[in-house]
């Protein structure tokens, strides 16, 4: 199939320079702050985004190399298909995080909920709209079997060591 090519619209500034020992999900990283630094030429596209509490950030796992079709997620010791987990080593290394907007200054969105590496290229930003984005009957697969402390689980090197 043909290639589908994009250009980064901006960059994530994060306290994490490596993909190790990071929070494994943004919603459990509420106290960790980062910035979406949008290319200034797109700043008009942020109009009214301050009305939302949360946005989706869609980004490129730029440190990821190659992929596996089955892998163990950070929160489980069983292998699952790559499309049933969120690991970065995917056929297309695209990440999604739901982050909370703290403030917006010109082309910079200050947010909490950082689970991305510093310098991550951003592909898109979309508003989180509860009416669209919360199914009322969702069930959570292998996660529902887990009784884990999400807040205290950090990433380890399992998806990194093959990447560098």
> Which residues contact a second copy by CB under 8 A?
1-9, 25-28, 39, 42, 44-49, 51-56, 58, 60, 69-70, 79-86, 90-92, 94, 96, 98, 100, 121, 123-135, 137-143, 150
Q: How far is the CB of 114 from a second copy (least distance, A)?
A: 14
* Residue linked to tokens 């709209």: 129
Provide the b/e sequence for 98-128 (b: ≥16 CB within 10 Å). bbbbeebeebbbbbebbbbbeebebbebeeb
What span, in angstroms and rounded, lies between the C-alpha atoms of 133 and 148? 24
- Shortest CB 40 distance to a second copy, Å: 12
Residues in CB range of 4: below 8 A, 6 or more apart = none
Q: How far is the CB of 42 from a second copy (least distance, A)?
A: 6
* In the complex, minimum distance from the CB of residue 57 to a second copy, in angstroms, rounded to a whole number: 10
């Amino acid at each position: 199939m043909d290639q589908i090519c994009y250009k980064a619209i901006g960059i994530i500034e994060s306290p994490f320079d490596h993909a190790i020992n990071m929070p494994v999900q943004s919603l459990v990283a509420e106290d960790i702050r980062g910035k979406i630094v949008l290319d200034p030429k797109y700043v008009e596209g942020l109009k009214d985004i301050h009305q939302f509490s949360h946005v989706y950030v869609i980004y490129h796992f730029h440190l990821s190399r190659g992929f596996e079709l089955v892998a163990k997620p950070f929160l489980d010791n069983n292998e699952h298909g790559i499309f049933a987990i969120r690991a970065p080593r995917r056929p297309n290394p695209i990440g999604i995080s739901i982050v909370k907007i703290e403030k917006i200054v010109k082309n910079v969105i200050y947010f909490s909920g950082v689970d991305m590496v510093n310098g991550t290229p951003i592909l898109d930003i979309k508003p989180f709209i509860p009416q669209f984005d919360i199914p009322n009957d969702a069930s959570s697969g292998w996660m529902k079997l887990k009784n884990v402390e999400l807040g205290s689980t950090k990433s380890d090197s399992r998806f990194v060591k093959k990447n560098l």
